[in-house]
Amino acid sequence: MDKELEQARKRIAELSAELEEHNHRYYVLAEPVISDRQFDLLLEELAGLEKQWPAFASPNSPTQRVGGDISKNFNTVTHRYPMLSLSNSYSREEVVEFVSRVEKEIGITTYAMELKYDGVAISLTYENGELVRGVTRGDGEKGDDITANVRTVRTIPLLLRGDPPESIEVRGEILFMRAQFERLNKERAEQGEDLYANPRNTAAGSLKQQDPKDVAKRGLDNFIYTLHGDHLPTRSHFENIQAAHRWGFKTPDVKRRFMERTDNVEGIMAFIAHWDVARHALEMDIDGIVIKVDDLDVQAELGMTAKSPRWAIAYKFQAEQASTRLNDVVYQVGRTGAITPVAELEPVLLAGTTVKRASLHNADQIEKLDLHIGDQVQVEKGGEIIPKIVGVDLEARPVDAAPVTFPLTCPECDTPLVRYEGEAQHYCPNEHACAPQIIGRIEHFVGRKMMAIEGLGGETVAELVQRGLIQNIAELYDLTKEKLLELGKGWGEKSATQVIDGIAASRSIPFEQVLFAIGIRHVGETVAKKIARAVVTMGRLQAMTKEELVTIDEVGEVIAQSILDFFAVEGNRDIVQRLRQCGVQMELDPASIQAVGDKLKGLTFVVSGVFRNFSRESIKASIEQNGGKTSGSISSKTSFVLAGADMGPAKRSKAEALKVQVIDEDAYMRMINE
């Protein structure tokens, strides 16, 4: 037994080191030496061993890259060194003033120049080469401990290489590479979900997700920009960053001029001039450059003001603007009935692309700008993908220009619009007869993550609605091959068969996906899963009160109300009833419902921590339903400790001391379902 134990420990250590090495080669150096498949096989082997020998599973294991335990709340942590911000400058003169001030105080000195990444600041603490904490900036004094989420960022090393100091804090920026952000939005579009507006806010939002598995899927990236500690490798900021590169961090690429040194103002100006143009070709967003005194002792001499160091300055690029004519404002109706005004512009070149449209968000925005048709407007492309109108040239306004007035009725179906209290958006309430809403809902229903009906894209759905074949999602199930073929142009035996087969196959799509597909506002993929597990049947969900709904994990007041509103509409109840009659899944698959039986007979469990799919009480109930017993404290009679996130260290050591196996929620699910 001991030999087996020792072998497992050794293999786990070996695999961890090997996987971390491959991770570094792939993500930091972009020089992989094994295939993705080989990597996955090693990772699977490690995950298997960790399941079997949980005592050897390190929090910094490569398996944590895909997401560890859920955190209910993030603990607040006080920063050892406050996280300051940079003073900003917007003109080259201000940069010249900064250099003169530094030179006046301490004479000629070297400056490090680097990019100002447009993401979210993070502080990473390493003890004895291991990542122990990842904390957000917060208010600069205190931030949130988001370590489990940070572990999923592949370019952040979990174990340092080389000879780092015993204790070191590394700070940097977590961000999205543009390509990754676009990929994410493409997926959202395919799922019929709203697009993320800009990479920075999305990075911030991603890091605050409770489930690290969700964070892992987002594909965040990182660059580091300062080191803090009592024993730094050198007294040069620039050299220290290079040392961090040797420890395994992704650092600014010197060959690509991401970081440079100079001792004069001309050098700084050349760097600014280079990046003012070159930034458009970068693979990530930057919003300026940062100039720092390189010598840490000189930095200390210069000190800081209340909020920002006197040894550094940020030079922010002007967000690019262009002036053009507002030709018209059109109003789009979304799947939920939300009305979005869109400005139609005289095409103009802005930041390398031709802009023809700009978003106007809502009626307040139009009023604030006092927009008139024919106005000469200022458009800006900041972090956002869609440009926005930031100003109007009042002097250039034609005398007969008509003010833009928000419509009172729906541009598609003429129903009077409504505006709910506290919301900025107008809505068309005619959800069952307004064409774009009908089409949008059906498009959502057939999407890949919903009912996955192949052969039915946006245009096809629009055609079926416009030609009167379907009016709602339930009517999809009345379609026949003959009806499709009768449409003529564009429809053949093959395409019609594909659609009809796809619809037939959708009858076996699991209930949780059906719940997502029917399009209850605010019920997305994850929430639908949680609800499905909690309610088991659609009938139960329909009968629930608000008080009952809010007890479901992840369901708050807003979602609960939205579910009630959905079922309050007779048309929706009819549709659900018709789907049921058509054989669409309205219950959780018995295999995924927690088993009930005597699989756990004779076993005693101690439950500790926070669980993903259960409340503490419901997991205890589940143990009992399966014939097991639960107890409050660990003893030699305990068969298993069932550990969720945040299990106390005392409990863990007690379990270890008494050699009681600790299992996680997934292992428990397998125990009762297998």
Cite the active site residues: 116
The nearer residue to ligand IVH, 222 or 437, going by C-beta atoms, is 222
Residue 115 CB, shortest distance to ligand IVH, in Å, is 6
Choice between 114 and 375, CB closer to ligand IVH = 114
Per-residue contact flags (x/-) with ligand IVH for residues 117 to 136, judged by CB under 6 A: x---x---------------
- Backbone angles phi and psi of 478, in degrees to 5: -95, -5
Q: Would you count residue 116 as binding ligand IVH (CB under 6 A)?
A: yes
CB of residue 183 vs ligand IVH: minimum separation in angstroms? 23
Can residue 226 be called a binding residue for ligand IVH (CB under 6 A)?
Answer: yes
- Minimum distance between the CB of residue 267 and ligand IVH, rounded to whole angstroms? 17
| Shortest Cβ 171–ligand IVH spacing (Å) | 7
Dist CA 549 CA 457 (whole Å): 34
Binder among 98, 176, 225, 445 for ligand IVH (CB under 6 A)? 225
CA 361 centroid distance within chain: 22
Rounded least distance, CB 243 to ligand IVH, Å: 17
Scanning the structure block, which residue is given the tokens 């490569």?
62
CA distances from 650 to 74, 498, 644 (A): 20, 58, 14
Query: Applying CB under 6 A, does 227 fall inside the site for ligand IVH?
Result: no
- Number of residues this chain uses to bind ligand IVH (CB under 6 A): 16
Residues 150, 131 contacting (CB under 8 angstroms): yes
86 binds ligand IVH (CB under 6 A): yes
Q: Measured in whole angstroms, how far is the alpha carbon of residue 142 from the centre of its chain?
A: 23
Stretch that binds ligand IVH, among 112-120, 338-346, 542-550, 613-621 (CB under 6 A): 112-120
Whole-number minimum distance, CB 382 to ligand IVH, in Å? 16
630 part of the interface to ligand IVH, by CB under 6 A? no
Question: Which residue, 224 or 442, has its beta carbon nearer to ligand IVH?
Answer: 224
CA atoms within 13 Å, Cβ hemisphere of 259? 21
Which is closer to ligand IVH, CB of 305 or CB of 633?
305
Strand 604-608 to strand 629-631: parallel, antiparallel, or no bridges (unpaired)?
Answer: parallel
Distance of closest approach, residue 451 Cβ to ligand IVH, in angstroms: 42
**Which residue of 69, 173, 221, 295 would you call a contact of ligand IVH, by CB under 6 A?**
173
Residue 568 CB contacts under 8 Å (≥ 6 apart), including other chains = none
CA separation for the pair 578, 74 (Å, rounded): 44
> By CB under 6 A, which span of 9-17, 80-88, 294-302, 636-644 interacts with ligand IVH?
80-88
Number of residues that this document lists for the chain: 674
For ligand IVH, which residue of 38, 73, 75, 85 counts as binding (CB under 6 A)?
85
- Which secondary structure element, helix H or strand E, spans residue 670, and what is its range? helix 665-673
Question: For the residues of 138-164, what is the DSSP string, one character each?
Answer: TTSSEEEB-HHHHTT-TTS-SB--S--
Query: How far is residue 16's CA from residue 21's CA, in Å, rounded to a whole number?
Result: 9
* Torsion angle of C-alpha atoms 267, 270, 271, 272, degrees rounded to 10: 120
Does 309 help bind ligand IVH (rule: CB under 6 A)? yes
Lookup result for tokens 């088991």? 536
Closer residue to ligand IVH, CB minimum distance, 51 or 228: 228
Binder among 69, 114, 294, 443 for ligand IVH (CB under 6 A): 114
Q: Could you give the CA distance from residue 323 to residue 591 in angstroms, rounded to a whole number?
A: 61
Distance CA 359, CA 334 (A): 14
Q: Is 201 in the site for ligand IVH (CB under 6 A)?
A: no
Closest by CA to 82, choosing from 307, 302, 312, is: 307
Q: Which stretch binds ligand IVH (CB under 6 A): 113-121, 336-344, 559-567, 614-622?
A: 113-121
What gap in Å lies between CA 280 and CA 452, rounded to an integer? 38
How many helices (H) and strands (E) in the chain? 24, 21
Residues 237-276: x/- map of binding to ligand IVH (CB under 6 A)? ----------------------------------------
Residue choice 137, 218, 529, 652 for contact with ligand IVH (CB under 6 A): 137
Distance in angstroms (rounded) separating the CA atoms of residues 377 and 375: 6
As measured in angstroms, the least distance from the Cβ of 262 to ligand IVH is: 16
Residues that bind ligand IVH (CB under 6 A): 84-86, 114-117, 121, 137, 173, 225-226, 290, 308-309, 312
